Structure 1
Amino acid sequence: MASPGEHDLRLVPAAVTVWVAGLTGQLGGWWSAGLCGVVAVVVAVVLLARCGGARARSAAAALLVAGVLSAGVLTVVLRAAAVDPLRAPAARGGQAVVMMTTADRARPVRSAGYANEPGTGRKVIIRADIERVRVDGVPVASTGRVLLVAPSPRWARLLPGQQVRATGSLTPARAGELTVAVLQIRGPPEAVTTAPWWQRSAAAMRADLRAASAAVLDPDEAGLLPGLVVGDTSAMPQRVADEFLDAGMSHLVAVSGSNVAVVVGAVFVVLRLLRVGPRTSAVAAGCALVGFLILVGYEPSVLRASVMGAVGLLALALGRQASAMPALAFAVASLVLIDPAMAVSFGFALSVVATGALVLLAPAWAAALHRRSVPPGVAEAVAVPLAAFVVTAPIIAGMAGEVSLVTVAANVFAAPVVAFATVFGVLAAVTAGFAPWLAEAFVWLAGPEASWLVLIARTASGVPGAVIDWPVGWWGGLLAAAVCAGIVLAFRARRLRLLIAAALAGVLIIAVPVAVIAPGWPPAGWTLVACDVGQGDGLVLSTGE
């Protein structure tokens, strides 16, 4: 067991092996997963033969198990998806009739309209597991996963676990994913079965929360609160969504590990204050964890946090000491083995690296700030979002092609109210079905917190130069990682800190006035531009893209 203050990293090599095997197996070919597994097995055998320490041998044993599972189970799953017989008809673009089971809730696809307004023809995307499929009248023996692109709103009402039949056009799936085909649907769902009772209950709670929020709060706050609590952004105004994205606060409406920690922690602490035993409190918190997972949906970050929370609660129930890094490593390995699509999920990657930074970097950085006379509480409030930003910025930069420079400051000001808004929102969702007046009271209590978050996002996103463009793709991510690493290393030397501060001050003095006094052309929010170039006239109409 690791000594106090020392992190137990024995499961980390095993988790990295499984994750890398799943990642390379989807991006570079299914055989890559088997190769990673074989290499891990060889390394583990060598370590077991040469290492005598108990900690080293246990780490090698875990690596051996991870290598065997990667070379066996993971490789078989990836190969089955790669050679699925539906891929060939999808490449030809045939017509298919598919009987399938929905795997998650519908997610809206926002399309551009005119004058920077969202389009009216909304669609949703849904993942589903194929039961039976016929392509151009011919049965195809596929049991893979398909991505549905369907019109809203009838498809948007489907819940996980429902069987449904649909007719549509097949198109090839994107490379590097387990999805074997994309089904473009125009008509309504057919032969829809009833969703499981727990999914119907969760959907009713989400709808009741939206109704209670709309009855009490202004439109911006009413659309935000369900997003904060259960990740339901269907009623969130597009302006608020864009402001949260530019301010680097969009993770607050995506339901992450912080939501899980707040809900489970609140249940556990309340029961302990009521003098309930630790084991009973851990079991009750585990039940709350399962219920919250069903309520918010099976998002990668929520699944990661749920597995970590379950490991921690199990340790409490058994009277053992919980440790964050083994729980994180176990969550990564188990989730990738169960669903290899996690390995290429940006949400999963952001959740894992952010959690690792909060465990490994944030405490050390907070201690360093303490040594420089930063008051307790303030040091932690700065260190936590700063550590998360440093490790997630390269992923976001490579994925989105932009970097928010106001993320750390915005999240420092937002952090104090997030827990209160989450707790009040969950209580509103739970009570809305049988006591609407009580739910509206909880929503009213969450209102000031939601208003504060809207204000922070609006102010931060309005700062000139809040978001800068960045090269997209792998090279952009590596460049951002190099910049972040260089800044972190530079801050360890006093002269370099002064040089960076002077450079940033110069950029602010030069760039901000230019952006304010001479903004770019055309101006933000433009609808129509008339161009007179001397050789004729032209009219340009904004499509929002």
Structure 2
Amino acid sequence: MTACRPLERVGGLLQGLSWSRLQSAREAAAAHPRHLVLAALVAGLLSGPHQAGVAAAVAAGVTGLAANARTATLAVAALVAGMAWTAERTAALEDSVLARAAGTEVTLLVAALEAPRPRPAGGVTFRARVMDGAARGEVGVVRLRATPSSTGDDAAAQGAHRSAALVTGSVLKVSGRMEALAEWEQHQRFRGARAAIVAREWWPAAQRRAGAAGVLDAARDRSREGLSQGIAAPEAALLRGMVLGEDDAVAAATRADFRNSGLAHLLAVSGQNVMLLAMLAMALATVAGASLRTRLAFALVLVIAYVPLAGGGPSIQRAGIMGAAGLVAAVAGRLGDRWYALLLAAALTLATNPLAARDVGWQLSFAAVIGLLAAAAPATRVLVRLGLPRPIAEVSAVTSVATVATAPLLVLHFGELSTVSLPANLLAAPAVAPVMWLGMLAAGVAQLDPVLALPLSWCSGHLVAYIEWVAHVFAALPHSVVELSVGETLMPLAGATVVAGLLAGPARRYVRSLPGVRADRPGKAPRWFLAAGALATVVVAFLALKAGEAAPAIADDELVVSFLDVGQGDATLLQTRRAAILFDTGPPDGPVLERLREAGVERLDALVLTHAQADHEGAAPAVIEHLRPRMVLNGGHGWPTAVQRVLPAGAAPTGVRVVPAHSGQTVSLDGIALTTLWPPPVARPDVTRDPNETALVTHVRHGHFDLLLPADAESGVLRRLDLPRVEALKVSHHGSEDAGLPEVLTRLRPEVAAIEVGRGNSYGHPAPSTLAALRVVPQVARTDRDGTVRVRVRGGRMELER
């Protein structure tokens, strides 16, 4: 009987807490009925028509919280209206002329909506708006090569534009093929893009857009020029990134430093940028003696002007809305008004684009703001009571809370976390606001004459150099970035939440004992303490949804062969418990890094590039940068491709050894034996030949298991080789037509054949004749249909996982 008393006490405590929290929530809803209705609208916009269960739960919740029938009816109506609007708006966005034109040849006039970004395999990519034809006004992703075409009706004019830089607002005529957005471009779908235009030819069609858009383009040009006055090119590129959101000219190494140090958010226009602009405007208006309403109106007008000046893209529009909401929240004296401003910002962004909630940037923005509203002010008060000066306490609290609030999303989406983010942000914070203020003033003065901005840009340049130094120093520290799967993160976080719960009582008593803390409600915890606990609970629940996605475990004597789904390209991963070898990386900008994270790869022992074609080596620079393979066996050595040109320089800083590949080489790693069968060694490759004819053919052996990886080498090559009998085969060249394939299959006699091919590709892969020949193979898998396919080999048994 005595042993049950602790359990009875716990049960009673939990019951009391639940009832107390419910009563508090109902009191809050009764005091703020507008908040409840607006929250229901946001929930409807988020859930859409396909989440009936979620909607029913929300409806039940708002009905239970509403103080009266009228509020409950309005909240449910707002929920239904949000769902209906999302359904209608999503259907309108999906009904796209560009999307329906996939697979056709087009010639379009387009205007760049963002600064073009280089692609690893050469050329650039950017979002653009179509300016003519049936698709006028629609947005697509343009992929084009780096220089304009030398043929066309206006060939004489093209030479004058050949060296012209492409910037936001550039107008081009592009001719090429429409394709569905690739998997690695899906984030652009959430930003309004409906399809991809693969341009074979392009011509600068006009210097600038006409009308108001042209006026803004000219103003942006003057701002860009003004921000470059009197400072070195690297610092100018960073300054343009921080002020205008144009980080395309930032060096890859610098961008990596900012990412690894947790400062990457500074290189993109965010709600923080807009808030800093608004604070500057409010301060100037205060000096001028303006009233609060006038100051607020002046700040909002500047925000409205700044959004199109910075490019006007979806992320910048979101930043404007978030900044404006933050401004209203800051001016509002009551916490409820701040939450209402946040809900209003969410409703506006989701009503404009219901897909925005799937954008990582949207999620990070709102996570940061929610964290700041819940915990920044209380955390500041605690730090002040602990003896920190208020300015330092405010900066430390805001930085700490924003970092903690966004960390789970960073792990979820990117599989990594900067361990130095907090100290790096704390050291950089004193320079961020001055950089933004000076940079914005420089951009404004540049509208008169860019030269006049020189003093302001010069001062900003020194501050930017300091931030760059902070990023470099912290990124260079050992273990500055750790690779994490959601499963690895969930258990420690859940454990930390439990520990926090156990320490809640002592911590509450300690905080209550600090000077100046209210003690008139001894039975209740401080508001900030409850908010922190609620935030931790939400984080744990959110990560629990994804906990099952952790990489599968590998036994000691097991080999796992993963035919990775990277679109139209090859990427094959060999894994044991202690080794990882990747054959090819798939196309540039492809999802190979995401696939490797899903497989639990933190570092590669070897990267094998079979030949010099973009769908095989395209993502090699990114793989080398992120996964630092100990060796690269390079089958594309000597070929004049974009990847081969940058490969030595990209491998050198990471200490990667690059070895030219040819027949007769052997590599052994943790029981995996690789033997290269083709091509023969040559002093210099014949780059006039089809690179498929010199693709690396490799025999993989692990115990009694044999695998043949022929890359794109077809039967014309394979028939000349002494081929082993194998249990598994990667089908050559994405399953293209190959008349000699039946003979090859007779010699190999595989039990499993895998075709690495992209969904909806324009080549017709896999060919019907190839599929017919593969009927003799017991199990045939395709990445376009099955996604990533794995073959597990252990104890003499082979198992295919689709």
TM-score tier (shorter) = 0.7 to 0.9
Q: How does 1:127-142 map to 2 (within 5 A)?
A: 127-128=128-129, 132-133=133-134
Q: How does 1:192-341 map to 2 (within 5 A)?
A: 195-310=209-324, 323-341=337-355
Partner in structure 1 of residue 775 of structure 2: none
Q: Which amino acid aligns with 1:104?
A: L
Partner in structure 1 of residue 177 of structure 2: 169
* Aligned-pair CA distance for 1:42: 6.6
Q: Which amino acid aligns with 2:352?
A: I
Residues 496-516 of structure 1: CA deviation (Å, up to 9, x unaligned) = 99xxxxxxxxxxxxxxxxxxx
Q: Which amino acid aligns with 1:525?
A: T
* Aligned-pair CA distance for 1:358: 0.9
Q: Which amino acid aligns with 2:113?
A: D
Please state if 1:72 is matched with 2:84.
Answer: yes
Please state if 1:148 is matched with 2:277.
Answer: no
Counterpart secondary structure, 1:442? helix
How many residue pairs match? The answer is 479
Contact 1:10 1:326 (8 Å CA) reproduced: no
Residues 292-330 of structure 1: CA deviation (Å, up to 9, x unaligned) = 111113345543342345457679999999932111110
* Aligned-pair CA distance for 1:282: 2.2
Residues 191-237 of structure 1: CA deviation (Å, up to 9, x unaligned) = 66952554434434443444445442233322211111111113322
Contact 1:260 1:306 (8 Å CA) reproduced: yes
Separation of aligned partners in 1, 2:383 and 2:391: 11
- Once the two structures are overlaid, the 10-residue window that deviates more, 187-196 or 225-234, is 187-196
Separation of aligned partners in 1, 2:87 and 2:138: 15
Counterpart secondary structure, 1:377? helix
Counterpart secondary structure, 1:361? helix
* Aligned-pair CA distance for 1:368: 3.3
Partner in structure 2 of residue 108 of structure 1: 117
Partner in structure 1 of residue 516 of structure 2: none
Counterpart secondary structure, 1:297? coil
Separation of aligned partners in 1, 2:81 and 2:171: 31
Q: Which amino acid aligns with 2:178?
A: L
Larger relative contact order (Cα-Cα within 8 Å, sequence gap ≥ 6) = 1
Q: Which residue of the other structure, out of 357, 360, 363, is the alignment partner of 1:343? A: 357
Residues 100-126 of structure 1: CA deviation (Å, up to 9, x unaligned) = 6x5832441441xxxxxxx6x231221
Question: Normalized against structure 2, the TM-score is what?
Answer: 0.52
- Once the two structures are overlaid, the 10-residue window that deviates more, 277-286 or 409-418, is 277-286
Question: 1:372/1:265 Cα in 2 relative to 1: closer, same or farther (>3 Å)?
Answer: closer
Question: 1:410/1:276 Cα in 2 relative to 1: closer, same or farther (>3 Å)?
Answer: same
Separation of aligned partners in 2, 1:190 and 1:181: 21
Separation of aligned partners in 1, 2:477 and 2:329: 46
Partner in structure 2 of residue 94 of structure 1: 104
* Structure 2: gaps (5+ residues): 1-23, 149-163, 508-627, 632-651, 669-673, 682-802
Partner in structure 1 of residue 431 of structure 2: 417
Partner in structure 1 of residue 126 of structure 2: 125
Counterpart secondary structure, 1:327? helix
Higher Cα radius of gyration:
2
Counterpart secondary structure, 1:216? coil
Separation of aligned partners in 1, 2:56 and 2:667: 68
Q: Which amino acid aligns with 2:67?
A: C
Contact 1:300 1:348 (8 Å CA) reproduced: no
Partner in structure 1 of residue 376 of structure 2: 362
Contact 2:261 2:474 (8 Å CA) reproduced: yes
Counterpart secondary structure, 1:235? coil
Separation of aligned partners in 2, 1:348 and 1:382: 24
Percent identical:
23
Separation of aligned partners in 1, 2:242 and 2:445: 17
Q: Which amino acid aligns with 2:438?
A: F
Contact 1:18 1:336 (8 Å CA) reproduced: no
Question: Normalized against structure 1, the TM-score is what?
Answer: 0.74
- Once the two structures are overlaid, the 10-residue window that deviates more, 207-216 or 409-418, is 207-216
Partner in structure 1 of residue 67 of structure 2: 51
Separation of aligned partners in 1, 2:177 and 2:114: 21
Q: Which amino acid aligns with 2:180?
A: P
Contact 1:41 1:68 (8 Å CA) reproduced: no
Counterpart secondary structure, 2:202? coil
Residues 74-105 of structure 1: CA deviation (Å, up to 9, x unaligned) = 10122344465764552xx23234566x5832
Identify, as 1 or 2, the structure richer in helix.
Answer: 1
Separation of aligned partners in 2, 1:315 and 1:383: 18
Please state if 1:63 is matched with 2:75.
Answer: yes
